Amino acid sequence: MKLQDKTHQILDIKKHLKKSHSYRITGMLRITGPDEPFLGPGRIELMEHIAATGSINKAAKEMGMSYKKAWMMVQSLNRQATTPLVITQTGGEQGGGAQLSTAALELMQAYQALRQRFEAFLRQETQNLLREE
């Protein structure tokens, strides 16, 4: 797309906005597989809580989420990744638990870098929208 086309698109949006209002362009960064979501803010947060608590159940409680939903998200993550992201240990004398794999930590770091670039894009497009012609 040519720069001229981008400018024209912003102008097409701008002409419909009230000048007295403050606007910004927002968005949510998600990676979706062919059949189900793979990674987004909720799953990143869940993995952060699992890393901090060592437990899917505790992570779910901290997020106000049911254990079943958290478990289904973990299963989905592990199913779609090339290697398990959340490693679980069943109960016993030591009790159960969960921890993140090295792959999960790498994925989370890469997602955060991608998110920063995405947010920079949104800020730039907001500036384009608000720029006086």
**Separation of alpha carbons 84 and 75, rounded Å:** 9
Tens digits of per-residue pLDDT, 17-63?
Answer: 888 788 889 999 999 999 999 999 999 999 999 999 999 999 999 99
Tens digits of per-residue pLDDT, 81-117?
Answer: 999 999 998 876 666 799 999 999 999 999 999 999 9
Q: Hey, what CATH class is 3-130 in?
A: mainly alpha
Please tell me the pTM assigned to this model: 0.84
**Separation of alpha carbons 73 and 38, rounded Å:** 9
Tens digits of per-residue pLDDT, 22-32?
Answer: 888 999 999 99
Residue 102: half-sphere exposure toward Cβ, Cα within 13 Å = 0
